[in-house]
């Protein structure tokens, strides 16, 4: 079950080693985690949700517009810690996170899929120690799971 935490942002950026490697203005910050057994269908589900989520306000103040509708951008950042399991003890277990090669392939499939919809996509650096800075607009934060667990 591919997972994503989607945040509506007025701006967001990611740095590696103090250098900005991805930056967006109005749009979405998508933290994406890939689990063991995830595949193309899971990636396609997350792409569809991110590109079509109606989390931006229309002229009446209702959340009726997608990131594409508002001319927004997406900052995609891989985050295996979305699979941190703390049901037992206090130290997270990451055994449900996909192996790095598979996770990178599906993370890129998500980012590329969003870009294929004509939405500008910036990315973090896979497997790098990153610092993410954002201004959550609303705040609006949505959890996505390709297994539809939430």
Contact at 8 Å (CB) between 36 and 96?
yes
Contact at 8 Å (CB) between 93 and 85?
yes
Q: What number of CA atoms fall less than 13 Å from residue 19's CA on the CB side?
A: 4
* Gap between the Cα atoms of 110 and 129, Å rounded: 20
Q: Is 131 one of the catalytic residues?
A: no
Of 81, 94, 131, 141, catalytic: 81
Q: Is 126 one of the catalytic residues?
A: no
Contact at 8 Å (CB) between 110 and 76?
yes
Of 51, 80, 94, 95, catalytic: 80
Of 7, 51, 56, 79, catalytic: 79
Q: Is 80 one of the catalytic residues?
A: yes
Where in the sequence numbering do the catalytic residues fall? 79-81
């Amino acid at each position: 079950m591919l997972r994503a935490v989607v945040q509506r942002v007025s701006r967001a950026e990611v740095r590696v080693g103090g250098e900005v490697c991805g930056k967006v203005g109005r749009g979405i910050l998508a933290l994406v985690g890939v689990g063991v057994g995830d595949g193309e269908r899971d990636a396609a589900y997350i792409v569809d949700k991110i590109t079509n989520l109606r989390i931006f306000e229309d002229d009446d103040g209702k959340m009726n517009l997608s990131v594409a509708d508002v001319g927004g951008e997406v900052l995609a950042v891989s985050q295996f810690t979305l699979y941190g399991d703390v049901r037992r003890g206090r130290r997270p277990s990451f055994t449900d996170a996909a192996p790095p090669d598979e996770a990178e392939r599906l993370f890129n499939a998500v980012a590329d899929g969003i870009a294929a919809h004509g939405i500008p996509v910036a990315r973090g650096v896979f497997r790098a120690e990153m610092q993410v800075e954002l201004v959550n607009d609303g705040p609006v934060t949505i959890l996505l799971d390709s297994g539809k667990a939430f």
